[in-house]
Structure 1
Amino acid sequence: MPWVVPALDPRTPIYAGGFAMELIKRRMQEFNLWDESRFRTFSMRERFELGPFECEPIRVTHSIPDCCGLILRSAYGNIVHTGDWKIDETPIDGEVFDRDAWEQIGKEGVALMMSDSTNVLSPGRTISESEVQKGIMERVLSHQGKGRVICTQFASNMHRMESVKKAADAAGRKIAFIGMSLNTYLEAAMRDGRAPIDPRELVPPSQIDACDPNELLIVTTGSQGEPRSALNMASVDRSHSLKLNDSDLLVYSAKVIPGNDTRVMKMMNNIAQRGPKIAMGRGELLHTSGHAYRDELDEVLKLVKPQHFLPVHGEYAFLCAHSELAQESGVQYTKVIRNGQMLGVHDRRNGREVSSGSMHLIGEAQLITLFNDGNKGTGTAEELAVHERTMLSVEGIVIAALDVIRPALQQRADEDYEFTPGEHRLRANVRLTTRGMWVDQGRLLQRLHQAAETAVGRLDPELSLGMIERNVGDVLRRICKGYNDRRPEVIIIAHELDPRAGVVVRNRNKRLEAETAAANPARAQRRSAARSGGRGRGGPSSRPAPEKVLKQRRAANPRDNPDAARSGDDLAFD
C-alpha cells in the first residue's frame, strides 16, 4: 500500500475492517502517509456508498480474523465478490460464516459473482480450525518433560496463535516470539481487541536460554523457508536468537506454498540433521487451509445463484476448473479472463434476469509491471535497472582508478606550461578492484593491473582523460572475456596526478579545434551541428543521449557518484 496509495487520487477514500485497518495504519505511518480522514473502518452488514455502488460487507471465515466478502448493489444489477474465504462451522473466534446474508442476496438477484478459486481442485470440505487446535494440543502435550517446543506458522493467523496459546497453557509453558512479523500482527490484533496473547506475557528472545526447556514454547517465522527468516537461519546455525537442540520438537503448523517446496525441504533437512524431532504433514492435523474446498465452493454458488460467474484468485487452470464447477452448479454464463482483460456485463432487464449473451470482453488494459527494491524504490524494470542488476549479479564488476602521469612540464615565456620536448611516455598508477567475480586467487587482478598499465603506456601523452578511460576499459573487458568468459561492468576513473597537465591538454585541444575551423569551416560547422543535435552531410541528426541514459551513466560512474566507489578494494596496486 505505501506504493499504491500515492498513485491514487488524494480524495479517494480507503475502506477496511478493523483488524486490516490496524495493519494498514502501522504501514502508512512508517511512510508518513496516514490520513485519518481518508482511511475509514467499516463493520459487517454496514452499508456505505462507493461511487455508483452501495457496498455491504458480509462475514466470511478465513485463516485471519475479521474477513469479509462484498456485495455491490447498483441500479444495473448486484455484484458479489467473496474475497478469500472458507466455511468454518466452529471457528475459534465464534464469528461464523454468514449463510443468511449470502442466501438473502441470492434471493435479491446477482448479476455477477466473483469467487476465490485457490482450492477448487481439492475435493470435500476444509477442516475446522477447532480440529487443528486439538491436533496442536495433542502434539505439545506429548513432548512434556522432553525439551522445548518450537512452532512455526503464518504470522497473520491469529486463530492458530490462540490454539498455540491454549496448548502452551495446558502444558504449563511460557511463550516466546522470534520474528518481527509475529509482533506486528499481534500488536494489530491487540489494538483491535482480538489478541489471543497479551504481549506483556511473552518471554523476550534474550531470555530464552535462561528458561527451563520444559517450560518454554517458541513461536517463530520462516514456515516457507524464507532466506532471512528466523527458522531458516537457525537451521544453518546462523541465528543469534534461536539455537536448535537435539531435544527440541518442531511443530510445522503451516502449508508449503507451491513454488517454495525446494527451499522448505532443504530447511527441514537441515533442521533434522541438527537433531530436533519434526511434526508436519496432513496426517498430523496441524494445519487447515483458509480457502474453500470444492464442496464449499459448490454450496455458495447454489446459495447465491448468480446469472454470471467470474472465477478469481488462482492459477489459470484453477480458474477454468472453477468455471466448469459453476456451470455444473447451474450458472449459465461463465468467463475466464487474464490479467488486464476487461469484462462487460450487460444491463439487466429486471432484478432477476439479464439479456442472453450479456457477458463479453470489452477491452484490455495496458498493464505495466512495477518493481520494488524492498524499501522506497519503486518503478518499472528500466527505472530500477533490473536488467543491469541481474547482469552485475552474474557477470560482476571491475573498477579501476588511474592516476594519470603525463610527461614533465616546463614553463614557457608567457608563463603558460607545455610538455618537455622529447618526453612522450604516458604512465599511470593503477588501483583496481572487482566485485562478484572469480579472480583465481588474485591472478586475474594481476593480469588486469598489468594490462591497464600497458594500455596507458601505449597512448598519446596528450590524450584526454575520457579517451584514456575508454581505451583502458576496452582492454580490461577483453582480458576478462578471455580469462574466464565473463563480461563484467567495467568502470574506469581517471584523473590527473598533476592538475596542470590537464590544463595543457585542454588548451592543446582548443587550439587544434580553432586551427581546424580556420582551415576547414564546413567541417567545423558539421561538427558543431552534430554536437548540438543538428544534421550533418544531409544525413540523420546526431542527437545527444536521452536524459534517462545519461542518468544511468552518471549513477554507474563513481566520478559522479562518489559513494558508489566506497565498497572497499580486494587488491590495490600503487
Structure 2
Amino acid sequence: GFERSKGLGMAACGRASRVAGTASLPAPGSASRSTQRSAPRRRSPACNAGRARSQPKQRRARESGAVTGSDTIDDARRTDFGDLYTENPLRVLPIGGLGEIGMNCMLIGHYDRYIMLDAGLMFPDHDELGIARVLPDVRFIESWADKIEALLITHGHEDHIGAMPWVVPKLDPSCKIYASPFTMELVQRRMVEHGLWDPDRFVTIGVPATFGLGPFECETFRVTHSIPDCLGMMLRCEDGNILHTGDWKIDESPIDGLVLDRAAFERFGKEGVSLMMSDSTNVLSPGRTTSESDVAASIMQKVTDFHQSGGQRIIATQFASNQHRIRAMKQACDAVGRKMAFIGPSLTTYLEAGWRSGFGAFDPSELVAPGDINNYAPNELFVVTTGSQAEPRAALNLASEGASRNLKLQPDDFILYSAKCIPGNEKRVQKMMNKISLLGPKIAMGRGDCLHTSGHAYREEQEEIIRMVQPQHFLPVHGEYAFLQEHAALARQCNVKHTTVIRNGQMVGVKPMRNISEVSSSAGKGISLLDKYDVDTLYNDGNKGVGTAAEMAIDERMTIACNGVIVCSLEVIVPKKAPKGGEEVQSIEKTSKGKLRARVRMTSRSMWTDNGRVLRDLIRVAEGSVAKLSPRERLGDVERVVSLALKNACWKMLKKRTEVICIAFYGDGRTDDNGTVVRRKGGGGRGGGGRGGG
C-alpha cells in the first residue's frame, strides 16, 4: 500500500497545475529553500522550573507544553537520539492546541521539510487582565521559517485563523498560504485589515482537491463542522501517509447538504495510513452528536408557535460563524413572513463571506438595517444578535443593561438562545439572562429546547472513523490533556496499539510499516519522541504589544487588580554642603537633626484606604524606614528598603499583597520653622497625596 502511494504521490503532483490558483506550486520532493536553520531557543530546566513556580496554576497548566531541556539540534544532538532521526521520516511538532482548547498550530514534516497546519489564537482566561488574545510562539516560528514551505488552513474559526496577522509576517515570503473558498474570504478580510494581503501568495483550493504542498502531495476532503467549507487532509510522500481530520463531526443530514466524505475515509483505510491525527474535543461525550437539521426543526417549531400565538418580536443569539444556524433561522423567518435584521458586525462579516464564496444562507441585501428596525412592527421582525457569551460590548449584553442603541428589549420579546455557554462564561451569561428576565422577555435556552448542537464528534463517531481507517499510528490532537488521554485509550480499544499523547513543543516521528496489514502489531514500532522544544505562549494586549507572560506583566496585572497599588514618591533630603556628583553615586548626608529624612508623597489605586488613614500610616512607615538608613545609602537601596517596608505594612494592616512602586530622588533640604521637613500637599488623585492623602 505504501509502495503504491509512492508512485501516486509522484504522479499526482502533475495534477496540481489543474487546481485553481496552484500553477506555481512546488512539486513534492523538490529541494528545500535552504539547508541552514536558525537554532531554536531553549531555556535551562532550572530556569523553567523557577518560571513555573512563579506562575498561577491556570497559566502553568496552559504552558505545561513548553517542554525544555534539549540542546540545539546538531550532529551531536542527533547522536544523542541514536538513529531516530533517520529512522522516523514522518514528523509532527505541535506549537499550540494540545493540552488546551484553541491556538491550533502545528508543523508536519518529512525529514527536515515542513508545512504548517493552521495559525489560531486562544481567548484569554479571566486572570489574564487586559489581554485581548493568546498567540502561538511566533518567535519560534520565525526561527524555523526556512524549513516551513507552506501554510494550510483547515477552516475559518478563530482558533485556527486568528493568529495569522502575527504568524504570516514571520514566515518566509515564498511560503504560500492555502485555504478553501469560504475560509479564504475570512482570511482575506483579516489580512487586508493588517496590510498583509498578497493575492499571489494566498491560494484558494477546492474541496476535494489534490496538489503539491511542500514535501507532500495533499488531498483535501470534505468534513462537517459548525462552520462551512471545512476540510481534512491526506498528506502523502515516499515514506508514508499522514491523515489529519481537522475539526469534524458526522452529520447525517447537514442543513447545507454537504456531508462528511465517508468514502474518502474508507479509501484511505484501504490505501494505508501511517499516522492519523484526529479532533479530541468531545471524546468524553458518549453517543453521537445531534444533527444541525434537528436544531433547524426545533427553531422552526418555536418560531412558528410563537408567531401563530400572536407573539411580537423574536430575538435570537448564536455564534456568528455558524452559517448553518443562520440558514435555519432564515428558513423559519421566511416561513412566518418576517424580516430578518442583524445587530452585531461579525454576523454580517460571516454572511458576506459566505455569500461571496457560495456558502451564504441568503443575500445580505435582504437584511433590514439596524437603524431601520423601528420602522417595522415588532411582529414583523426576527432579530439575530451577537452576545451569546455575554461579551461586555456585544449587542445582547448591552441590551440587557439598556445600553444598546439599536436593540431595546421589550416585555413581550421572545429570546432564542441558540448557542452553548463556553466553560468559564457561565456566571456572566447567567447574569445577562437574569437581567433580561427582569425586563420581561420570555427565554428559550437549554438542552431540552434542542436549540444547539456541537460541531465536534462525540465518542461513537470517533470510534467509527478510527475503525474505518485503522491507522498504524494514532495521535490525538485538539483538546485538553484529559481529552487527549481518553482519545488515545479509545484508539487502543479499536486495536491501534501505537498511540501516544504529546504536548506542545514535543516533536514525534513515525517509521511507517510497509505492510499495510500490520495495523499495530509488530514489536519495536511506534511513535518516537525526537526532540523537545521551548515554545512559549505569547500574549497580545489588543494593540502592538506581544510578549510572554513576564514581558506583558500578566501576574503583576492580577496583583494590582486584586491587591491594589501604591506609588510612593521619596524626596530624599541632601544638605547644601553635600558634594555634587552622579545621582546614583552621590552620598546622602545627615540633616540638621543628624537623621536621614525624606519628603513623602503617596497615592493608591484599587485598594481600601479608610478615608486616607491607611495612607497616613503608610507614610509614617516610609519615613521611619528612611530614618533608619545610613546617610550613604544609594537611591536604589532607599527604594528597595521602603518598598519592602510598605509591602509588609500592607500585609499587617490589610492582609493584602499590595504592589508598591517607590521613586526616590534628591531634594533641596528645605525645612519649616520647627526644623521639620516640609511635605508638599495636594495631588494624588483618588488615593490622595501627602500626609492627608486619601
Q: TM-score, normalised by structure 1?
A: 0.76
Bigger shift: 214-223 or 486-495?
A: 486-495
Q: Distance in 2 between matches of 1:470 and 1:327?
A: 58
Q: Which amino acid aligns with 1:49?
A: G
- Match of residue 140 from structure 1: 303
- Match of residue 359 from structure 1: 526
- Match of residue 567 from structure 2: 399
Task: Kindly state the Cα deviation for residue 449 of structure 1 after the two structures are TM-superposed.
Answer: 4.4
Q: Give CA-to-partner distance per residue, 1:271-315, whole Å, 9 cap, x none.
A: 323322111122322122212233433333343233333333334
Q: Distance in 1 between matches of 2:643 and 2:512?
A: 66
- Match of residue 185 from structure 1: 350
What pairs up with 1:423-434 in 2 under 5 angstroms? 430-434=600-604
Q: Distance in 2 between matches of 1:461 and 1:328?
A: 75
Q: Distance in 1 between matches of 2:292 and 2:348?
A: 22
Q: Distance in 1 between matches of 2:593 and 2:267?
A: 97
Provide the alpha-carbon RMSD of the alignment. Answer: 3.6
User: Which of these residues, 444, 448, 459, is aligned with residue 614 of structure 2?
Assistant: 444
- Match of residue 277 from structure 1: 442
Q: Distance in 2 between matches of 1:111 and 1:461?
A: 74
User: Which of these residues, 57, 63, 68, is aligned with residue 226 of structure 2?
Assistant: 63
| 3-state SS of 1:78 partner | strand
Q: Distance in 2 between matches of 1:81 and 1:14?
A: 18
Query: Would the aligned equivalents of 2:318 and 2:386 in 1 still touch at CA under 8 Å?
Result: yes
- Match of residue 503 from structure 2: 339
Query: Would the aligned equivalents of 2:564 and 2:605 in 1 still touch at CA under 8 Å?
Result: yes
Q: Is residue 149 of structure 1 aligned with residue 149 of structure 2?
A: no
Q: Is residue 46 of structure 1 aligned with residue 216 of structure 2?
A: no
Task: Kindly state the Cα deviation for residue 468 of structure 1 after the two structures are TM-superposed.
Answer: 5.6
User: Which of these residues, 444, 457, 462, is aligned with residue 297 of structure 1?
Assistant: 462
Q: Distance in 1 between matches of 2:299 and 2:447?
A: 13
Q: Is residue 348 of structure 1 aligned with residue 465 of structure 2?
A: no
Q: Which amino acid aligns with 1:398?
A: I
The higher-RCO structure (CA 8 Å, 6+ apart) is 2
| 3-state SS of 1:47 partner | strand
Residues 148 and 494 of structure 1, relative CA distance in 2, 3 Å threshold: same
Q: Distance in 1 between matches of 2:637 and 2:458?
A: 67
Residues 99 and 442 of structure 1, relative CA distance in 2, 3 Å threshold: same
| 3-state SS of 2:240 partner | coil
Task: Kindly state the Cα deviation for residue 430 of structure 1 after the two structures are TM-superposed.
Answer: 4.7
User: Which of these residues, 8, 12, 29, is aligned with residue 175 of structure 2?
Assistant: 12
User: Which of these residues, 369, 372, 376, is aligned with residue 539 of structure 2?
Assistant: 372
Q: Which amino acid aligns with 2:349?
A: T
Residues 469 and 320 of structure 1, relative CA distance in 2, 3 Å threshold: closer
Task: Kindly state the Cα deviation for residue 151 of structure 1 after the two structures are TM-superposed.
Answer: 0.9
| 3-state SS of 1:54 partner | strand
Q: Distance in 2 between matches of 1:104 and 1:423?
A: 93
Q: Give CA-to-partner distance per residue, 1:106-142, whole Å, 9 cap, x none.
A: 2222222222233334444333222222211221222
- Match of residue 485 from structure 1: 655
- Match of residue 384 from structure 1: 552
Residues 211 and 451 of structure 1, relative CA distance in 2, 3 Å threshold: farther
| 3-state SS of 2:355 partner | helix
| 3-state SS of 2:220 partner | strand
| 3-state SS of 1:4 partner | helix
Task: Kindly state the Cα deviation for residue 160 of structure 1 after the two structures are TM-superposed.
Answer: 0.5
- Match of residue 72 from structure 1: 235
Bigger-Rg structure (1/2): 1
- Match of residue 139 from structure 2: none
Q: Give CA-to-partner distance per residue, 1:400-444, whole Å, 9 cap, x none.
A: 34566766789xxxxxxxx9x968788766543211212223322
What pairs up with 1:463-478 in 2 under 5 angstroms? 469=639, 472-478=642-648
What pairs up with 1:102-117 in 2 under 5 angstroms? 102-117=265-280
Q: Which amino acid aligns with 2:503?
A: N
Q: Give CA-to-partner distance per residue, 1:452-477, whole Å, 9 cap, x none.
A: 56767888999876566556545544
Q: Distance in 1 between matches of 2:514 and 2:646?
A: 74
| 3-state SS of 1:160 partner | helix
Query: Would the aligned equivalents of 2:575 and 2:668 in 1 still touch at CA under 8 Å?
Result: no
Residues 448 and 49 of structure 1, relative CA distance in 2, 3 Å threshold: same
Q: Which amino acid aligns with 2:316?
A: C
Residues 153 and 428 of structure 1, relative CA distance in 2, 3 Å threshold: same
% same residue: 53
- Match of residue 570 from structure 1: 687
Task: Kindly state the Cα deviation for residue 240 of structure 1 after the two structures are TM-superposed.
Answer: 4.7
Q: Is residue 313 of structure 1 aligned with residue 478 of structure 2?
A: yes
Bigger shift: 56-65 or 450-459?
A: 450-459
Q: Which amino acid aligns with 1:370?
A: T
User: Which of these residues, 210, 216, 220, is aligned with residue 385 of structure 2?
Assistant: 220
* Runs of at least 5 residues in structure 1 that lack an aligned partner in the other structure: 411-418, 502-565
* Runs of at least 5 residues in structure 2 that lack an aligned partner in the other structure: 1-162, 579-588, 672-682
Query: Would the aligned equivalents of 1:173 and 1:214 in 2 still touch at CA under 8 Å?
Result: yes
Query: Would the aligned equivalents of 1:343 and 1:359 in 2 still touch at CA under 8 Å?
Result: no
Task: Kindly state the Cα deviation for residue 66 of structure 1 after the two structures are TM-superposed.
Answer: 0.2
Residues 408 and 208 of structure 1, relative CA distance in 2, 3 Å threshold: farther
Q: Give CA-to-partner distance per residue, 1:222-276, whole Å, 9 cap, x none.
A: 3233444333344344545544332121111112334444443343333323322
Q: TM-score, normalised by structure 2?
A: 0.64
- Match of residue 147 from structure 2: none
Q: Give CA-to-partner distance per residue, 1:136-195, whole Å, 9 cap, x none.
A: 122122222322212111111011111112222223333332334323322322332322
Query: Would the aligned equivalents of 1:407 and 1:424 in 2 still touch at CA under 8 Å?
Result: no
Query: Would the aligned equivalents of 2:539 and 2:549 in 1 still touch at CA under 8 Å?
Result: no
Residues 428 and 499 of structure 1, relative CA distance in 2, 3 Å threshold: closer
Residues 89 and 471 of structure 1, relative CA distance in 2, 3 Å threshold: closer
Query: Would the aligned equivalents of 1:407 and 1:423 in 2 still touch at CA under 8 Å?
Result: no
Q: Distance in 2 between matches of 1:317 and 1:148?
A: 43
Task: Kindly state the Cα deviation for residue 478 of structure 1 after the two structures are TM-superposed.
Answer: 4.4
Query: Would the aligned equivalents of 1:406 and 1:461 in 2 still touch at CA under 8 Å?
Result: no
- Match of residue 34 from structure 1: 197
Q: Distance in 2 between matches of 1:346 and 1:567?
A: 67
Q: Give CA-to-partner distance per residue, 1:450-506, whole Å, 9 cap, x none.
A: 5556767888999876566556545544442332123322223345666999xxxxx
Query: Would the aligned equivalents of 1:465 and 1:494 in 2 still touch at CA under 8 Å?
Result: yes
Aligned length in residues:
503
Query: Would the aligned equivalents of 2:318 and 2:418 in 1 still touch at CA under 8 Å?
Result: yes
Q: Which amino acid aligns with 1:274?
A: L
Residues 449 and 211 of structure 1, relative CA distance in 2, 3 Å threshold: farther
Q: Distance in 1 between matches of 2:407 and 2:669?
A: 57
Residues 276 and 406 of structure 1, relative CA distance in 2, 3 Å threshold: same
- Match of residue 83 from structure 1: 246
| 3-state SS of 1:84 partner | coil
Query: Would the aligned equivalents of 2:411 and 2:439 in 1 still touch at CA under 8 Å?
Result: yes
What pairs up with 1:234-249 in 2 under 5 angstroms? 234-249=399-414
Query: Would the aligned equivalents of 1:49 and 1:55 in 2 still touch at CA under 8 Å?
Result: yes
Residues 434 and 107 of structure 1, relative CA distance in 2, 3 Å threshold: same
- Match of residue 96 from structure 2: none
Q: Distance in 2 between matches of 1:342 and 1:351?
A: 25
Residues 571 and 333 of structure 1, relative CA distance in 2, 3 Å threshold: same
Task: Kindly state the Cα deviation for residue 30 of structure 1 after the two structures are TM-superposed.
Answer: 2.8
- Match of residue 67 from structure 2: none
- Match of residue 253 from structure 1: 418
Task: Kindly state the Cα deviation for residue 68 of structure 1 after the two structures are TM-superposed.
Answer: 1.1
Query: Would the aligned equivalents of 1:77 and 1:351 in 2 still touch at CA under 8 Å?
Result: no
